[in-house]
Amino acid sequence: MISRVFDFMKQSKSIQLNNRLFLDLLSSSSSSSSSSTKPKALHDVFINHRGTDTKRNIATLLYDNLNARNIRPFLDSKNMKPGDKLFDHINRAILTSKVAVTVFSPNYCDSYFCLHELALIMESKKRVIPIFFDIKPSQLDVMIERVTCSDDEIQRFRWALQEAKDIVGLTFDSCKGNLSEVVTVAADVIVDRLVELDAEVGDA
C-alpha cells in the first residue's frame, strides 16, 4: 500500500520474557474487552520517540504543549523516576494510553526500545499519529543487528513499521520547517482524536 502522508510544509532474554508477559496481558485484555472493562486510561497520549534525535526538540515541546492544554501525555524523561523498571513502566504506559504519537527520526530504527514500543502500540490497536521528523516513510526499516533480537522480533518490528507507514501523518524538515508550528498542529490533531474517541465511547 502506498503511504499517504500529510506534508506540513507543507538488549537479552530477560527483556524478551518481560515483553511476552505484557503481550499476554494485552491478549487477555483484548479478548475479554467485550465482556469486561478495558484497562483504565492513565495517560491520554504516549509519545514514542528516539531520544537522541528528538528529546530536546519536538518530543519535549509536544509534551509541554499538551500539558498546557490539560492533556495527560507520557514522555519517559518526564514521567519516569529513578527506581522505575524500564519495560514495566513503558509497556504499562502504552497499554493505558488512549492515543499514541510516533516520532520517526533518522536514528529511530536502530533502537530496540523504539521498535518494541511501536510494535506494542500497533498490537494494542491504538489510534496512532505519526510524525516523520527529518525522514521519509520510505526510509524506515529495521536497522538493529540480528544478534540483538530474534528473527521473530525482526518480523514483528517490520510489520509494525509497515502499519505505521500506511497511516496519514505529519512531516517535518528541520532545514526549512517551523518547529513551533508543527508542534501546534500535532497537538491540535491529538485533541481531535481524543474528542473522537470520547464520542465513540459515549455512543457505545
Better-predicted residue by pLDDT, 201 or 183: 183
Confidence class for position 40, pLDDT limits 50, 70, 90: confident
Q: Which three cell numbers stand for residue 198?
A: 470520547
DSSP labels, the chain: -PPP-EES----HHHHHHHHHHHHHHHHHHHTTTTSPPPP--EEEEEE--HHHHIIIIIHHHHHHHHHTT--EE-HHHH--TT--HHHHHHHHHHTEEEEEEEE-TTGGG-HHHHHHHHHHHHTT-EEEEEEESS-GGG----S-TTTS-HHHHHHHHHHHHHHHTS--EEE-TTT--HHHHHHHHHHHHHHHHHHHHHHHHH-
Which residues are registered as beta bridge partners of 100? 46, 128
Q: Are 15 and 66 in contact (CB under 8 A)?
A: no
pLDDT at 32: 41
200 part of the active site: no
CA 93-24-96 angle, to 5 degrees, is 20
Span 57-64, mean pLDDT? 96
Span 128-136, mean pLDDT? 97
Q: Which three cell numbers stand for residue 17?
A: 520474557
Q: For 22, what's the count of Cα atoms within 13 Å in the CB-facing half-sphere? A: 23
Q: Which residue is catalytic, options 117, 123, 153, 163? A: 117
Span 143-167, mean pLDDT? 91
Better-predicted residue by pLDDT, 30 or 53: 53
The string of pLDDT tens digits covering residues 61-80 is 999 999 999 999 999 988 88
**What global pTM score does this model have?**
0.81
User: For the ranges 18-32, 49-63, 75-89, which has the lowest average pLDDT?
Assistant: 18-32
Distance in angstroms (rounded) separating the CA atoms of residues 135 and 137: 7
pLDDT at 86: 78
pLDDT at 65: 98
pLDDT at 12: 38
pLDDT at 168: 94
Which residues are registered as beta bridge partners of 171? 7, 132
Domains of the chain plus CATH, in order, are: 40-203 (3.40.50.10140)
Phi, psi (deg, nearest 5) at residue 115? -70, -35
